[in-house]
């Protein structure tokens, strides 16, 4: 084989190696981007504006052959009833026994502002009316704080018989929008972006009960983020407004 022929073969092998390396690098980048992509959550939008939304999401625990996993949807709840329910929800900072001994009990605060209640009462009523037995209603409320930060309150709810289950995933959490990676707060409204540190109550407390939680939820202060309200035990709306202003919730 001549020297010229050998040099030609080497150049061809080198060019082939470069092309193979370039293709491998492109494939690696595509796989990395696919791995970092935000998973799609199956949902139906009921209401959405630039900072808020109400959606219907598939219930992850739903099994067609297991009736206890089915929700009582569609459900007819008037906006006024939902307004009453939202007005009755209050938040208390979660404190361990030592904090309570040193600082006393934390004050109670309304879970939702008036403008949030005005929006949610109408849109949640529409969502429940359209929901299927395999869906739950989720909501997301945000208020921009800066170009990369927003104040977030989010969660979800569903009906079981005459009981309304409501879970707060986040309450007035300052969320920093990442420059890259997954944006959890809008994608997963029922998942906390941090340890919650609050307890959720409903007034009047006679209509409320707690769900069972694991010990790890108690350690992370996530054990009292859900309330179950028996609609049959709700007083008339006029009585709720006076109860929420004059009494304190009980555990």
Q: Which of 177, 161, 246 is nearest to 205 (CA)?
A: 246
- Chain centroid offset of residue 95 CA: 23
CA distance 142 to 154: 8
What pLDDT does 2 receive? 55
Strands 163-176 and 226-230: antiparallel
Q: Which of 202, 233, 43, 215 is nearest to 112 (CA)?
A: 202
What pLDDT does 148 receive? 86
CA distance 184 to 190: 10
What pLDDT does 236 receive? 74
Mean pLDDT of the chain: 79
The mean per-residue pLDDT over the stretch 207-218 comes to 62
| Domain locations in the chain as residue ranges | 1-37, 42-246
pLDDT digits (tens, 9 = 90+) for 26-39: 555 444 444 444 55
124 pLDDT exceeds 90?
Answer: yes
Beta bridge partners of 159: 164
Task: Supply the pTM of this predicted model.
Answer: 0.74
What pLDDT does 81 receive? 94
207 pLDDT exceeds 80?
Answer: yes
Answer with the residue of higher pLDDT: 248 or 142: 142
Lowest-confidence region among 10-19, 91-100, 235-244: 10-19
What pLDDT does 241 receive? 46
229 pLDDT exceeds 90?
Answer: yes
What pLDDT does 158 receive? 97
10 pLDDT exceeds 90?
Answer: no
């Amino acid at each position: 084989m001549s020297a010229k022929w050998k040099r030609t073969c080497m150049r061809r092998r080198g060019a082939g190696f470069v092309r193979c390396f370039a293709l491998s690098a492109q494939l690696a980048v595509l796989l990395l981007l696919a791995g970092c992509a935000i998973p799609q959550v199956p949902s139906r939008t009921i209401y959405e504006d630039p900072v808020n939304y109400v959606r219907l999401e598939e219930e992850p625990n739903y099994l067609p052959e297991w009736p206890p996993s089915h929700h009582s949807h569609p459900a007819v709840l008037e906006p006024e009833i939902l307004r009453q329910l939202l007005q009755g929800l209050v938040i208390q900072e979660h404190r361990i026994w030592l904090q309570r001994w040193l600082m006393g009990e934390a004050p109670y605060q309304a879970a939702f502002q008036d403008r949030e209640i005005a929006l949610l009462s109408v849109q949640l009523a529409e969502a429940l009316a359209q929901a299927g037995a395999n869906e739950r209603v989720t909501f997301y409320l945000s208020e921009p704080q800066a170009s990369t930060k927003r104040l977030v309150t989010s969660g979800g709810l569903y009906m079981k018989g005459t009981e309304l289950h409501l879970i707060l995933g986040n309450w007035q959490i300052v969320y920093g929008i990442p420059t890259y990676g997954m944006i959890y707060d809008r994608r997963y409204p029922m998942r906390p972006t941090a340890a919650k540190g609050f307890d959720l109550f409903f007034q009047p407390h006679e209509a409320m009960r707690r769900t069972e939680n694991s010990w790890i939820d108690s350690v992370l202060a996530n054990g009292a983020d859900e309330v179950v309200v028996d609609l049959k035990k709700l007083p008339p709306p006029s009585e709720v407004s006076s109860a929420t202003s004059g009494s304190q919730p009980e555990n």
